[in-house]
Amino acid sequence: MPGVVRTRVGYAGGSKPRPTYRALGDHTETTQIEFDPERLAYEDLLAVFWDSHTPTRPPWSRQYASIIFYHDEEQRRLAEESKLKVELRLERRLYTDIVPASQFYRAEDYHQKYYLRGVPGVMHDFERIYPDAREFTDSTAAARANGYVGGYGTLDDLSAEEEALGLSPEALAELESIVRQVGGHPRGCG
């Protein structure tokens, strides 16, 4: 999505210090999204959230709970309004909590950029560009490419920013091929 600066997956909402995937405690797996509000409205992020899943049943564990973590009262208000609209449209209760953002803990490196990790040719380029795993995770280019592989974005979007991604012609061709197949058809969380 244009306007997404960076994404990270991790854990939030619980009380256990320094959770890990194997020792999560009472945290929930979540995605932290940094975005440019001049280019992307918070309401658009909420629309992607609701389009990515429909939580019409209670979660079977805290780890997989549906939660929107808000950072200010405007985000809280917009999240609650969007939830109500989806509930009215579906005529069903949604089991999504809307709570203040708390400490976010990054997930382990191997959990970051899930979709992108399934595309070896493109990943090889990113590993060359960002040999440090933390820099890779924090990279806007990697976040954007991961989004394209996940179905968020079109060939026109990719064409407009392909130079900024820093990929080789071969990796860019592979990414373009994927976008032709999945562009505009998001796979859900990732």
Query: With contact defined as beta carbons under 8 Å apart, do 174 and 121 qualify?
Result: yes
Does residue 6 have a pLDDT over 70? yes
pLDDT digits (tens, 9 = 90+) for 63-112: 999 999 999 999 999 999 999 999 999 999 999 999 999 999 999 999 99
What does the DSSP assignment read for 67-107? EEEESSHHHHHHHHHHHHHHHHHHTS---EEEEE----EEP
Residues 61 and 146 in one domain: no
Domain span including residue 98: 4-106
Give pLDDT tens digits for 25-77. 999 999 999 999 999 999 999 999 998 888 999 998 999 999 999 999 999 99
> How much is the average pLDDT of 125-152?
93
Domain CATH number, residue 98? 3.30.1060.10
Has residue 189 got a pLDDT over 60?
no
Residue at a domain's end among 61, 87, 106: 106
Task: Look at residues 88, 106, 124 and tell me which one is the last residue of a structural domain.
Answer: 106
Kindly indicate the confidence band of residue 161, based on its pLDDT and cuts at 50, 70 and 90: very high
Same domain, 73 and 163: no
Q: Are residues 14 and 84 in the same domain?
A: yes
What is the model's pTM? 0.85
pLDDT tops 60 at residue 188: no
Model confidence at 2, in pLDDT bands (50, 70, 90)? confident
Q: How many domains does the chain have?
A: 2
